């Protein structure tokens, strides 16, 4: 419906996005927050000590502390825990495809992946030198 035309007043021109505008932006904000907090609570809290025990199978390629010796294997030391956790869950779900990693995550549960992520993230990685 177009706005009423008041004599002597210029009618408001219809803007391109008029219809797309959310009536209540605070509702959208609230929903985004709720979704974000739900997603965040889905990841278990990692235990670095427990992760260290499980990391022996990873050491052959990624190094004992996550500092891999060759460029063929990504360095895990000092990486953000949530990044590592997501990478592991993605390999497991087949969202990220790699035949090698697929084998090593196959028998890991979410808690073990969080523990491994906590361990490697707590190790000293590369230092940035400018």
The least CB distance from residue 49 to ligand HEC, in Å, is: 15
Other Cβ atoms within 10 Å of 111 Cβ, number: 15
CA angle, corner 54, sides to 48 and 59, nearest 5? 100
Asked if residue 53 binds ligand HEC (CB under 6 A), the reply is no
Angle between helices 110-121 and 81-93 (to 10 degrees): 140
Judged by CB, which is closer to ligand HEC: 58, or 65? Answer: 58
Stretch that binds ligand HEC, among 5-13, 28-36, 42-50, 68-76 (CB under 6 A): 68-76
Interaction between residue 118 and ligand HEC (CB under 6 A): no
Q: Which of 77, 81, 101, 114 binds ligand HEC (CB under 6 A)?
A: 101
Q: How far is CA 46 from each of CA 7, 89, 115, 118, 122, rounded to the nearest angstrom?
A: 68, 14, 4, 5, 11
In the region spanning residues 80 to 99, those forming contacts with ligand HEC, defined by CB under 6 A, are 84, 87-88, 96, 98
Evaluated on CA atoms 118, 53, 50, 88, the torsion sign reads positive
Residue 50 contacts ligand HEC per CB under 6 A:
no
Collapsed DSSP state (helix, strand, coil) of residue 119: helix
* Binding residues for ligand HEC (CB under 6 A): 57-58, 60-62, 73-74, 76, 84, 87-88, 96, 98, 100-101, 104, 116
């Amino acid at each position: 419906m177009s706005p009423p035309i008041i004599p002597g007043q210029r009618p408001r021109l219809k803007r391109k996005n008029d219809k797309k505008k959310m009536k209540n932006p605070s509702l959208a904000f609230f929903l985004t927050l709720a979704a974000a907090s739900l997603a965040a609570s889905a990841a278990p809290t990692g235990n670095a000590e427990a992760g260290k025990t499980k990391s022996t199978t990873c050491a052959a390629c990624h190094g004992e502390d996550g500092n891999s010796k060759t460029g063929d294997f990504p360095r895990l030391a000092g990486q953000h825990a949530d990044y590592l956790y997501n990478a592991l869950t993605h390999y497991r779900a087949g969202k990220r495809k790699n035949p090698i990693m697929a084998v090593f995550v196959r028998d890991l549960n979410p808690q073990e992946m969080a523990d491994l992520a906590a361990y490697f993230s707590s190790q000293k990685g590369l230092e940035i030198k400018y």
